[in-house]
Amino acid sequence: MPPVTDLIAAAAGAAGVFTATNLDDIVVLTVLFVAARRSGRPRPWQIVTGQYAGIGALVAVAVVAAAGLLVVPDPWPGLLGLLPIALGVRALRRRDADDDEPPVVVGTLLGVAGVTVANGADNIAVYVPVFRTLDPATGLVWLLVFAALVAVWCVVAAALGGHPRVVALVGRVGHWLVPAIFIAIGATIVLTSGVLPRLAALLP
């Protein structure tokens, strides 16, 4: 068992890495909690469970890759950015169906998990080399810290999503702001992943 000071240092390192790689999830979660408050979809438990499922899937892939049992093809995970883009565009196209409420971009547990995975696909490149250096006890500390911080992220986003000013803002401009956020997140994933030059190189 590593000394307590080493475990504390590991917890601090895990918190720093999680925070740096998942700050944008706060925005997505806040939008989802506002949607849950205004339209009832997705339900809060679906948001929390979907976030845990998405982060869990990313960590699982990173752990398996760190163990040398899986090769994550870089930069192809960047194509996952097409998912939030597609969801945002679909929400804009459905806007005419309800002029009084912001469109529901994601309405199910699987949808939340999918957006979480797409939004965090680039995190795997950070997690893999870190996980390769961790012994089992330290790795467990990292997993526990990640699990705790997912809960913190959900609590913070739920609080923001229930704030009167945030709710009022989404009520005024949510019909285009919410889809725009998803489209912007997806575009950022695609553009920063390096997948577009790789695709261009495959063209004759």
| pLDDT tens sequence across 172-182 | 777 788 888 88
52 pLDDT exceeds 70? yes
53 pLDDT exceeds 90? yes
Give the Cα separation of 47 and 62 in Å (integer): 23
Q: Is residue 197 part of a domain?
A: no
Give the Cα separation of 142 and 40 in Å (integer): 34
Q: Is residue 202 part of a domain?
A: no
Phi, psi of 77 (to 5 degrees): -55, -20
Number of domains into which the chain is organized: 1
Q: Which residues contact 19 (CB under 8 A, 6 or more apart)?
A: 149
Q: What is the pLDDT of residue 7?
A: 81
Q: Is residue 199 part of a domain?
A: no
User: Radius of gyration (Cα) for the chain, nearest Å?
Assistant: 18
Do residues 124 and 61 touch, judged by C-beta distance below 8 A? yes
Q: Is residue 49 part of a domain?
A: yes
Q: Is residue 204 part of a domain?
A: no
Phi, psi of 40 (to 5 degrees): 85, 5
Q: What is the pLDDT of residue 99?
A: 52
Q: Which of 11-20, 37-46, 67-76, 139-148 has the lowest mean pLDDT?
A: 67-76
Q: Residue 104 sits in which domain range?
A: 4-192
4 pLDDT exceeds 60? yes
| pLDDT tens sequence across 79-121 | 888 888 998 888 887 765 455 555 678 888 999 999 999 988 8
73 pLDDT exceeds 80? no
Q: Is residue 92 part of a domain?
A: yes
Q: Is residue 201 part of a domain?
A: no
Average confidence (pLDDT) over 9-26: 91
Q: Is residue 41 part of a domain?
A: yes
Per cent of the chain over pLDDT 70 is 94
